Amino acid sequence: MKHWIERIAEELNERDVKEHVIASGTSISGSIHIGNSCDVFIANAVGKALRKLGASARTIWIADDHDPLRKVPYPLPESYEKYLGLPYSKIPCPEGCCANFVEHFEKPFLDTMDDFKIELEVESGEQMYKDGVYDDYIRISLEKAPEIREIFNKFREHPLGEDWLPYNPICEECGRVNTTYAYDYDGDIVSYRCQCGHDGTMDIKTGEGKLTWRVEWAARWKIFGTTCEPFGKDHAASGGSYDVSKIISKDIFNYEAPYPVPYEWITLNGESMSKSHGVFFTPGQWLEIAAPETLNYYLFRSKPMKAKDFNPAMPFLDFIEQYDRVERIYYGKEEPASEKEGEKSKKIYEASQIQVAETMPFQPSYRFMTVAYQVAGNNTEKIFNILKKNSQLPEDMERKEFSEIDKNDVERLEARITHVKNWLNTYAPEFVKFQVQKKIPRLELQDNQKEFLLKVADALEARDYTSQEFHDALYVIIEEMDMKPQKAFQAIYKAIIGKKQGPRAASFVVSLDKDMVIKRFRMED
């Protein structure tokens, strides 16, 4: 069984190419999120797989920073509507912290690449135009405008005008690029008119203009020698950008289009990600609540065109448990449900790892640590001891004291503590959160609930328990008293956190200071 990334790499490796160039690109129209950055993650993974096969491969990322602003991205004010139509590169930084609009949204994304160990050759669309990289391709496109127009018209309901040229100058009057219409040229001088009423000319060598997108994309493939490119499903639609650019690439620029890897959009809580509406989740936000490998796993566990919905609230805990299970299967610490699941899990795990460790990394339960953290705070040693009390450690670690555990294990525990803390503070629903009350809460307990708590206090005073032993002891008392479990557990939660519900009662109580719990259950302040 092969992972889909491996299959792509093998197909590419069969081609007669000296060096593979896997291209990715992103429009800098606002925050770069886990949806529109799939290009980068897929491109990086394909490049790694090619190099593993012994092929030469480089990965590039083009910032489409010369495109026009079409919508004001969240959280910019409405005043930014005055920049609609201007190239991103011409718009000022919204907070005055960066050189311009582009750097403001590009920098946070590129800063995360180190965490994912992704090495990219970063290119700027604007700089390519300024440096004259596109000049010869603009000249060819102007000369062959009738042929390009004919290609476009095959896919259009309304044909382009006979004087249409595949180039958009930036209007020298209003500064917009999406409102101009180039209709004539003489050498490098292009004549255009703009919707603002201006009629003018511009020299292509100034870089103050751009090829229309589908022509630009085709030109870019030849410029970089692109052999593979991932892109969103909108470009892959029948008659869409890839279909048109593929023909332009071959017929106009004499270059075979790269191997396409289209992918489905990622939704957020069922909603389409939108920079203008503030519905997005960035790689940086992901790194606040989980390790980088888990995002790779999220992206690579299913084929690229399979729909994906991300929910950072409670479903995220299930997702992390799935990742941890796949890790255990990979290292032989858990049996898969079938041989097929085992093979598939191992391939997905390998694809998601920045570097596969020889032995299984320490894996403290994320879900359990949401409880441990709320009991012990940032105290790593206390959390370790809570894990130990609740049999949440590997066998070899169960016998050790905190001071004896390996430095790498401490770092992994501390990293997960940070992730859990951030998740609790930002995404956890209220019913997950609790706080151990310093004083006895105002209780409304029935007589049998009070009696139950007294019996539990006596049981705790008699001996020490593991969480499983205490769970069994609770049910012995519940059955002896002929109580409903729900009423019994409500009494525990009310006495400790002042709520009717909380984390699993046995492991929760065992995680707390024993003397405090005994006093609380006996109503001794």
pLDDT recorded at residue 427 = 97
CATH number for region 447-521? 1.10.10.350
Tell me the mean pLDDT in the region 57-67: 97
pLDDT recorded at residue 441 = 87
Tell me the mean pLDDT in the region 126-154: 98
Q: 376, 374, 375, 413: which is closest to 393 by C-alpha?
A: 413
Say whether 111 sits in a helix, a strand or coil: helix
Q: 290, 216, 220: which is closest to 34 by C-alpha?
A: 290
Tell me the mean pLDDT in the region 293-321: 97
pLDDT at 442 over 90: no
pLDDT recorded at residue 277 = 87
Contact 192, 181 (CB under 8 A): yes
Between helix 407-426 and helix 380-389 the angle, nearest 10°, is: 90
Tell me the mean pLDDT in the region 71-76: 94
Q: 239, 185, 214: which is closest to 67 by C-alpha?
A: 214
pLDDT recorded at residue 440 = 87
pLDDT at 224 over 80: yes
Contact 154, 91 (CB under 8 A): no
**pLDDT tens across 477-519, in order?**
999 999 999 999 999 999 999 999 999 999 999 999 999 999 9
Tell me the mean pLDDT in the region 301-327: 97
List CB contacts of 191: < 8 A, sequence separation 6 or more.
182, 183, 184, 185, 199, 200, 201
Distance CA 122, CA 450 (A): 66
**pLDDT tens across 92-115, in order?**
999 999 999 999 999 999 999 999
pLDDT recorded at residue 498 = 93
In the structure encoding, which two tokens stand for residue 40, read together? 């980068």
Distance CA 51, CA 57 (A): 6
pLDDT recorded at residue 508 = 95
Tell me the mean pLDDT in the region 123-150: 98
Q: Of all helices (H) and strands (E), which one includes residue 488?
A: helix 485-497
**pLDDT tens across 372-417, in order?**
999 999 999 999 999 999 999 998 899 999 999 999 999 999 999 9
In a 10 Å sphere around its CB, with 0-12 CB exposed, 13-18 middle and 19+ buried, how is residue 64 labelled?
Answer: buried
Distance CA 87, CA 189 (A): 21
In the structure encoding, which two tokens stand for residue 190, read together? 């292009």
Tell me the mean pLDDT in the region 60-66: 97
pLDDT recorded at residue 168 = 97
Tell me the mean pLDDT in the region 350-358: 96
Q: pLDDT category, 74, cuts 50, 70, 90?
A: very high
Residue type present at position 313: A
Q: pLDDT category, 1, cuts 50, 70, 90?
A: confident
Residue type present at position 89: S
- Cα angle vertex 356, ends 353, 360, to 5°? 110
Alpha helix positions (H), 177-240: 213-224, 233-236
Q: How large a percentage of the chain has pLDDT more than 90? A: 96
**pLDDT tens across 169-194, in order?**
999 999 999 999 999 999 999 999 99
250 is in an annotated binding site: no
pLDDT recorded at residue 443 = 80
CA 311 to chain centre: 11
Q: pLDDT category, 318, cuts 50, 70, 90?
A: very high
- Cα angle vertex 482, ends 478, 486, to 5°? 55
pLDDT at 124 over 90: yes
Tell me the mean pLDDT in the region 141-167: 97
pLDDT recorded at residue 500 = 92
DSSP 8-state code for residue 262: E
Tell me the mean pLDDT in the region 222-244: 96
Distance CA 200, CA 211 (A): 17
Ordered by start, the domain boundaries in the chain are: 366-432, 447-521
**pLDDT tens across 18-50, in order?**
999 999 999 999 999 999 999 999 999 999 999
**pLDDT tens across 262-280, in order?**
999 999 999 999 988 889 9
**Phi, psi (rounded to 5 degrees) for 324:** -60, -35
pLDDT recorded at residue 477 = 97
Tell me the mean pLDDT in the region 143-149: 98
Tell me the mean pLDDT in the region 129-158: 97
In the structure encoding, which two tokens stand for residue 450, read together? 């009070």
Q: Of all helices (H) and strands (E), which one includes residue 20?
A: strand 20-27
pLDDT recorded at residue 445 = 93
Q: pLDDT category, 361, cuts 50, 70, 90?
A: very high
Distance CA 178, CA 158 (A): 19
